């Protein structure tokens, strides 16, 4: 009897009949689910943060202006385009947002509130607003209008708070650079996420679940290398066309008028070219993360990078050598960033990382490092 009175399982017991050892009374514990952002709101947060950090690094810009201008345009978008722009028209949403920001920046420039290049700096935020119109909410089959509170206002408030902290933190250094402001802003997001998780007792992460997953990484083969090379070549062609368009604009129209239409013109031309390339590309190239999946966003940022070079020379047409340098820098930066993200995403599968750094914060750190390299290359260029 003693054998059967002991509350443990012997190796001879049948698996279905084994007696389970009980220690005290069983208790039911409630495990709180981790709080994630939706993918579209996380992208909107990241792009908005990049825009605000770039604006805070500009000279001749009032401290209060970047957040105020961004809030005004975002509010106008929220009560208009947010309700009827569908995913298929997301490129149109980007163009309209670029026009809104250009108009607001031009009026503010005439009032002396901002720099002439401020309109181009808002293009990443316009891409983030396009993301809100492009992507479905996570785990939903049908597209729904982005929720203003959780998917628009809260990410924008976080971006404003983080960029403001980054702006004042970067004041400790000799000069404010984009990468220092961005790194300080990312540190704020990580600390805020950790503190909010401790207070609420539930992990609250400043990222979406899909940005922390790697199931969509294709097998490394020769076809993926070909897709990567093809997409980078297509990016180079678009940059050359945009630079030629801006040069013709500066020669024909003149600096003062070209300044007002350079940003929306670059946005319009690059969108048309990008959509055309996507339409005539093979499905494998178009859908691959190493191919053209984010091509419109890449060319939008590259086009405005070129526009900044022209905006820095309002009184005269930029030298051909300066334009060539801008084209080369845009192509090399795009190749470096996309290649680094492709490699890093594959390597992160085998790495243990903090959940507060995973996803969006990590990608922003990589972006800040690229910004540091680009800014280092621009040190010797006059007018920037």
DSSP notation for 256-279: HHHHHHHHHHHHHHHHHHHHHHHH
The position carrying tokens 């905006």 is 311
Provide mean pLDDT across the span 191-204: 91
Provide mean pLDDT across the span 179-203: 92
Residues 6+ apart with CB under 8 A from 116: 109, 259, 311, 314
Residues 6+ apart with CB under 8 A from 331: 232, 235, 236, 239, 302
Residue 218 banded pLDDT, cuts 50, 70, 90: low
Nearest-5° Cα angle at 231, 228 to 237 = 140
Residue 22 banded pLDDT, cuts 50, 70, 90: very low
| Model pLDDT, residue 1 | 47
pLDDT, the chain, mean: 83
The position carrying tokens 């984010």 is 294
Residues 6+ apart with CB under 8 A from 84: none
Nearest to 303 by CA among 276, 277, 264, 342: 264
The position carrying tokens 């990008």 is 274
| Model pLDDT, residue 29 | 45
Residue 381 banded pLDDT, cuts 50, 70, 90: low
3-state secondary structure of 359: coil
Residue 55 banded pLDDT, cuts 50, 70, 90: very high
């Amino acid at each position: 009897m003693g054998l059967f009175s002991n509350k443990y399982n012997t190796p001879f017991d049948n698996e279905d009949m084994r007696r389970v050892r009980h220690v005290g009374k069983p208790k039911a514990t409630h495990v709180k689910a981790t709080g994630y952002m939706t993918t579209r709101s996380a992208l909107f947060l990241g792009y908005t943060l990049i825009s605000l950090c770039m604006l805070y690094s500009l000279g001749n810009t009032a401290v209060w202006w970047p957040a105020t201008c961004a809030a005004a345009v975002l509010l106008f978008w929220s009560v208009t385009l947010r309700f009827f722009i569908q995913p298929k028209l997301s490129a149109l949403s980007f163009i309209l947002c670029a026009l809104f920001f250009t108009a607001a920046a031009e009026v503010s420039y005439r009032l002396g509130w901002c720099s002439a290049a401020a309109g181009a700096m808002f293009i990443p935020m316009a891409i983030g607003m396009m993301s809100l119109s492009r992507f479905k909410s996570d785990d939903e089959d049908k597209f729904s209008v982005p929720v203003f509170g959780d998917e628009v206002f809260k990410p924008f408030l976080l971006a404003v708070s983080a960029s403001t902290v980054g702006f004042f933190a970067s004041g400790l250094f000799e000069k404010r650079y984009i990468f220092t402001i961005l790194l300080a802003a990312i540190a704020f997001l990580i600390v805020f996420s950790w503190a909010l998780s401790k207070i609420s007792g539930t992990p609250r992460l400043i990222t979406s679940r899909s940005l922390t997953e790697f199931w969509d990484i294709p097998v490394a083969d020769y076809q993926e290398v070909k897709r990567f090379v093809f997409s980078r070549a297509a990016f180079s062609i678009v940059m050359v066309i945009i630079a030629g368009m801006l040069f013709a604009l500066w020669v024909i129209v003149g600096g003062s008028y070209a300044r007002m239409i350079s940003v929306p013109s670059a946005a319009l031309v690059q969108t048309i070219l990008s959509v055309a390339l996507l339409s005539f590309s093979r499905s494998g190239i178009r859908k691959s993360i190493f191919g053209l999946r984010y091509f419109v966003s890449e060319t939008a940022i590259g086009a405005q990078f070129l526009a900044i070079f022209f905006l820095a020379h309002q009184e005269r047409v930029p030298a051909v050598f300066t334009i060539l340098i801008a084209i080369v820098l845009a192509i090399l930066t795009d190749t470096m960033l996309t290649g680094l993200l492709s490699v890093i995403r594959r390597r992160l599968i085998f790495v243990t990382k903090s959940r507060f750094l995973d996803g969006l914060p990590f990608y922003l750190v990589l972006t800040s490092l690229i910004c540091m390299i680009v800014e280092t290359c621009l040190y010797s260029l006059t007018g920037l």
